[in-house]
Amino acid sequence: MNIGDVAAKSGVPSKTIRYYEDIGLVKPARSANGYRAFRDSDVHKLTFLGRARALGFSIEDCRALLGLYEDESRASAEVKAIAQHQIEQIDRKIADLRRMRDTLAELVSRCAGDDRPDCPILESLGPGGKV
Amino acid sequence: MNIGDVAAKSGVPSKTIRYYEDIGLVKPARSANGYRAFRDSDVHKLTFLGRARALGFSIEDCRALLGLYEDESRASAEVKAIAQHQIEQIDRKIADLRRMRDTLAELVSRCAGDDRPDCPILESLGPGGKV
DNA sequence: ATGGGGGTTCCAGTCGGTGGAAGGTCAAGG
DNA sequence: CCTTGACCTTCCACCGACTGGAACCCCCAT
């Protein structure tokens, strides 16, 4: 299988697949003409990677998960720990974003939004403010 | 004022201040010895930038906001529009993260997390899965 | 004069790709 | 047999927004 087919099947762009090879996540064989020759197992790995990335796992987490995925004698506890850690990271990001959002929403609600220059948003960002 | 004092007063690291000069957000004068010479207005700008960045505004948004901040004849509507757009971006990010979080939480809840190898998390990421 | 704590420039690296140039390969159609 | 066009290859540069570090300069106190 050539890279284009794999990209179509796995949903991971060709460019990204080459990048994943660069960083050692997949190791496709090579045909005589120099083309990468993918097996079904590579497609499975790439599908796996695409989904893991969509869940926000870092590349290094993906590398670890892929190792566990391939390891028939893994302990599910290891996988669960990584996933739980990822949930914590996401929760932290959400909390940060929510704080930003609330602050912004409050500022926006106090801004007239007309053609006059006075603006609580800019005032809060400036030296007197306390955002 | 030297860069270190400004960093302390504005809360923006020296390195970042130099970077902001590089990309044209601040334009400090220079002393005879080649050191950057900041005025109070530069400190105000950098404080402004620090706060705007903390609210998640992109550098380009910051540039626009800084322009409006400096423009006495601005219309608050312009500022409000940028802030509202930013809120929308944040909302979209939160929604994405929440989807990830929910999916992960569901997978984690179904994973035994013991020393056995069977793991719904890995199964969902693999070729049979449907994350 | 020496030491330490500023400052300066410039280059490289972060993360996870993405875009594009220059060139090789292959199957189909004229 | 040749050309066209779609694929593939490598390599290098760029995105955002910094951050780390090397190598060097400057100024003040001891």
Q: Of B30, B51, B74, which residue is a domain's last?
A: B74
Check pLDDT > 70 for residue A126.
yes
Backbone angles phi, psi at B29, to 5 degrees: -75, 180
Check pLDDT > 80 for residue A131.
no
Q: Are residues A8 and A63 in the same domain?
A: yes
Q: Are residues A63 and A13 in the same domain?
A: yes
Nearest-CA distance A69 → chain B (Å): 6
Q: Measure A39 CA to C26 C1' (Å).
A: 21
Nucleotides of D under 7 A from a protein CB: 7-11, 16-21, 25-27
CATH of the domain at A65: 1.10.1660.10
Q: Are residues A62 and A103 in the same domain?
A: no
pLDDT, position A130:
67
Nearest-CA distance B106 → chain A (Å): 11
Q: Are residues B92 and B113 in the same domain?
A: yes
Number of domains in chain B: 2
Enclosing domain of residue B131: 87-131
Q: Is residue B69 part of a domain?
A: yes
Cα A49 from Cα B118, distance rounded (Å): 19
Size of interface A-B (CB pairs under 8 A): 172
Q: Are residues B58 and B101 in the same domain?
A: no
Q: Of B52, B74, B96, which residue is a domain's last?
A: B74
Closest nucleotide over all strands to A21 (CA to C1')? C17
Check pLDDT > 70 for residue B65.
yes
Q: Are residues B65 and B93 in the same domain?
A: no
Q: Are residues A69 and A5 in the same domain?
A: yes
Q: Is residue B37 part of a domain?
A: yes
Q: Please state the rounded mean pLDDT for residues B75-91.
A: 97
Q: Are residues B60 and B22 in the same domain?
A: yes
Please name the residues in contact with B120: beta carbons below 8 A apart, sequence gap of 6 or more: B107, B110, B111
Tell which residue, A46, A55, A15, A53, has the closest CA to residue A28: A46
Which residue among A52, A77, A87 sits closest to B113, beta carbon to beta carbon? A77
pLDDT, position B129:
80
Where does the pLDDT of residue A129 fall: very low under 50, low under 70, confident under 90, or very high at 90 and above? confident
CB B53 within 8 A of CB A74: no
B127–A44: do the CB atoms touch at under 8 Å? yes
| pLDDT single digits (tens) A34-54 | 999 999 999 999 999 999 999
Q: Are residues A3 and A31 in the same domain?
A: yes
Strand positions, DSSP E, A36-126 = 36-37
pLDDT, position B66:
97
| pLDDT single digits (tens) B88-109 | 999 999 999 999 999 999 999 9
Q: Are residues A112 and A128 in the same domain?
A: yes
Closest nucleotide over all strands to B53 (CA to C1')? D17
Q: Are residues B35 and B96 in the same domain?
A: no
Asked if strand D contacts A4 at the CB level, meaning under 7 A, the answer is yes
Closest nucleotide over all strands to B15 (CA to C1')? D19
Q: Of A37, A58, A74, which residue is a domain's last?
A: A74
Cα A104 from Cα A114, distance rounded (Å): 18
Asked if strand D contacts B9 at the CB level, meaning under 7 A, the answer is no
Q: Is residue B80 part of a domain?
A: no
Q: Please state the rounded mean pLDDT for residues A64-92.
A: 97
